[in-house]
């Protein structure tokens, strides 16, 4: 989440008139994240999140994202639900952007996840995968393996400005992933961005998942690999085996990882690290002027990748190789 597009009081009030949500009381921009413009909106009835979709989000993908949120919510996943306008639509225009209005989810993100948070996250991820299993729409992963080379080409010549040797590191890793990437694992809808700031807790209870705007169809175990990267490294970049075991056991308690998925995890975690290294590197070198947004430091994922390069078995992440 971020703020790239400013919205005036009058424009927002006119926008809200299309919904049966009361009148505007207050609103403020949400600075976290890097993709879309988001506002917390308070009306006389409730709180909501207003999202204005920026350039990286393709308009044709929005029915997938919003439909997915409604679909999994009906199946018990706690997440924001799109609010329908009085004419039934879930998309509108505001400040020159396509916009959507969703319900507010109570809770807060955990800055320093513990093992118990990781276990609950693993369970929630598996429950989401099962809830989305019969979602009828499909969306290719634009930031999946097929998109990594084209993205790298956009900043290859400048990559060593981030850290010396980064160009060669990414080049070599992409070649290895091309040769070893698993392409026959169980597939379905994945969240693809379930970082701690996209998971809310109330006390020790996981209260819900947010930000579905990278969701797509891909290997389910790849979503697990993304979470291992996002949840289980400490501030000194050391992998926390206790957290890894908790996350994997939480997931496995709801949806059992197959032997093939377990065997592929060391490659999947490397691929997940490369995916975020690529997008963070691109954003680091192409910061929008005057945006209320702070790009993530890509070097975090250099250190994660270095760890994954040493791993030969899922046991290094805390789970037995045998299902």
| Tens of pLDDT, residues 53-69 | 987 788 899 999 999 99
Question: Based on the domain organization, do 77 and 211 belong to the same domain?
Answer: no
Of the candidates 266, 297, 308, the residue with the CA atom closest to the CA atom of residue 163: 297
For residue 218, the tally of other CB atoms under 10 A from its CB is 21
Rounded distance between C-alpha atoms, residue 95 and residue 15, angstroms: 10
At 267, which CATH number? Answer: 3.90.1200.10
Question: Based on the domain organization, do 147 and 266 belong to the same domain?
Answer: yes
Tell whether the model's pLDDT for residue 3 goes beyond 80.
no
Question: Based on the domain organization, do 49 and 159 belong to the same domain?
Answer: no
Residue where one domain finishes, among candidates 55, 70, 103? 103
Q: pLDDT at position 239, please?
A: 98
DSSP 140: B
In a domain, 217, yes or no: yes
Q: Judge whether 82 and 102 are in contact, CB under 8 Å.
A: yes
Q: pLDDT at position 295, please?
A: 73
pLDDT (tens digit per residue) in 27-39: 999 876 557 899 9
| Mean confidence (pLDDT) of the chain | 94
Question: Based on the domain organization, do 31 and 77 belong to the same domain?
Answer: yes
Task: Quickly tell me which residue has 């956009």 as its tokens.
Answer: 154
DSSP 87: T
pLDDT (tens digit per residue) in 158-194: 999 999 999 999 999 999 999 999 999 999 999 999 9
Question: Based on the domain organization, do 15 and 145 belong to the same domain?
Answer: no
Domain of 242, in residue numbers: 115-317
35-58: average pLDDT: 90
In a domain, 108, yes or no: no
In a domain, 212, yes or no: yes
Question: Based on the domain organization, do 34 and 159 belong to the same domain?
Answer: no
Q: Are strands 205-209 and 37-43 parallel, antiparallel or unpaired?
A: unpaired
What one-character-per-residue DSSP string does 204-260 give? TEEEEE---TT-EEEEHHHHHHHHHHHHSB-TTS-B-HHHHHHHHHHHHTTSPPPHH
In a domain, 110, yes or no: no
Question: Based on the domain organization, do 95 and 167 belong to the same domain?
Answer: no
Tell whether the model's pLDDT for residue 44 goes beyond 60.
yes
Alpha-carbon torsion, ordered 10, 16, 18, 23, to 10 deg? -100
Containing H/E element for 141?
A: none
Q: pLDDT at position 145, please?
A: 96
Rounded distance between C-alpha atoms, residue 319 and residue 323, angstroms: 9
Number of domains in the chain: 2
Q: Judge whether 230 and 319 are in contact, CB under 8 Å.
A: no
User: Three-class SS of residue 110?
Assistant: coil
In a domain, 80, yes or no: yes
Question: Based on the domain organization, do 159 and 209 belong to the same domain?
Answer: yes
pLDDT (tens digit per residue) in 249-295: 999 999 999 999 999 999 999 999 999 999 999 999 987 666 556 67
Question: Based on the domain organization, do 131 and 51 belong to the same domain?
Answer: no
In a domain, 3, yes or no: no
Confidence category of residue 1, pLDDT binned at 50, 70, 90: very low
pLDDT (tens digit per residue) in 69-89: 999 999 999 999 999 999 999
Q: pLDDT at position 5, please?
A: 87
Q: Give the largest CA-CA distance in the chain.
A: 60
In a domain, 322, yes or no: no
Of the candidates 197, 210, 198, the residue with the CA atom closest to the CA atom of residue 65: 210
Residue where one domain finishes, among candidates 103, 125, 142? 103
Question: Based on the domain organization, do 266 and 302 belong to the same domain?
Answer: yes
């Amino acid at each position: 989440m971020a703020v790239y597009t400013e919205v005036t009081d009058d424009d927002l009030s006119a926008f809200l008139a299309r919904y049966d949500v009361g009148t505007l009381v207050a609103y403020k921009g949400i600075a976290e994240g890097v993709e879309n413009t988001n506002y917390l909106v308070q009306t006389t009835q409730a709180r909501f999140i207003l999202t204005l979709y920026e350039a990286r989000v393709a308009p044709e993908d929005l029915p997938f994202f919003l439909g997915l949120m409604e679909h999994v919510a009906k199946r018990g996943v706690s997440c924001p639900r799109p609010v329908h306008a009085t004419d039934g639509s879930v998309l509108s225009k505001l400040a020159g952007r396509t916009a959507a209005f969703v319900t507010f989810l109570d809770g807060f993100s955990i800055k320093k996840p513990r093992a118990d948070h990781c276990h609950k996250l693993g369970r929630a991820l598996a429950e989401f995968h099962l809830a989305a299993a019969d979602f009828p729409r499909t969306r290719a992963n634009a930031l999946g393996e097929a998109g990594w080379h084209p993205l790298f080409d956009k900043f290859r010549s400048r990559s060593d400005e981030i850290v010396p040797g980064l160009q060669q590191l990414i080049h070599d890793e992409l070649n290895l992933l091309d040769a070893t990437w698993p392409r026959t694992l169980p597939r379905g809808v994945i969240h693809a961005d379930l970082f701690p700031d996209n998971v809310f807790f109330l006390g020790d209870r996981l209260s819900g998942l947010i930000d579905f705007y990278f969701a797509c169809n891909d290997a389910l175990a790849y979503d697990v690999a993304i979470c291992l990267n996002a949840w289980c490294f400490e501030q000194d970049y050391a992998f926390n085996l206790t957290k890894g075991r908790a996350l994997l056991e939480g997931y496995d308690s709801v949806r059992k990882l197959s032997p093939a998925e377990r065997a592929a995890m060391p490659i999947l975690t490397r691929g997940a690290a490369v995916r975020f290294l690529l997008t963070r590197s691109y954003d680091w070198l192409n910061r929008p002027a005057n945006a209320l947004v702070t790009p993530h430091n890509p070097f975090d994922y250099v250190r994660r990748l270095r760890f994954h390069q040493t791993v030969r078995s899922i046991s290094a992440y805390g789970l037995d190789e045998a299902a």
